């Protein structure tokens, strides 16, 4: 699910389940590398994407200075974060831990 400023609170911060948020950009090669991993995780978990070029306020709010930045939110808070290409196993483990 692609997120914008207007739906970030509802879809991520107000969610009762953990949400993996991928801060990415179209021009980012490592971001494209993450696509199959995120698609696999989305079959079991809530996964959302925030394009940092189109949503600079969200990127600034979470101090995104390098992408891909993969943040797991639970209860409106960041409970885990990974920078750069990250394995499905690592992300799945974090998501399960925060269920």
Question: Out of 25, 28, 40, 83, which one is annotated catalytic?
Answer: 28
Active site annotation includes 28: yes
Question: Out of 3, 12, 20, 31, which one is annotated catalytic?
Answer: 31
Active site annotation includes 31: yes
Question: In what helix (H) or strand (E) does residue 22 lie, and over which residues does it extend?
Answer: strand 19-24
- The token pair at 90 is 């690592």
User: Closest Cα partner for 52 from 95, 4, 17?
Assistant: 4
- What is the DSSP annotation of 73-85? EETTEEEEEEESS
Catalytic residue numbers, as ranges: 28, 31
């Amino acid at each position: 699910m692609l997120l914008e400023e207007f739906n970030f609170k509802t879809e991520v911060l107000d969610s009762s389940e953990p949400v993996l948020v991928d801060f990415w950009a179209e021009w980012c090669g490592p971001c494209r590398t993450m696509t199959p991993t995120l698609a696999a995780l989305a079959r079991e978990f809530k996964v959302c994407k925030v394009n940092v070029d189109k949503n600079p306020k969200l990127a600034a709010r979470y101090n995104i200075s390098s992408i891909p930045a993969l943040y797991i939110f639970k209860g409106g808070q960041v409970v885990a974060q990974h920078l750069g290409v990250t394995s499905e196993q690592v992300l799945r483990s974090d998501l399960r831990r925060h269920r």
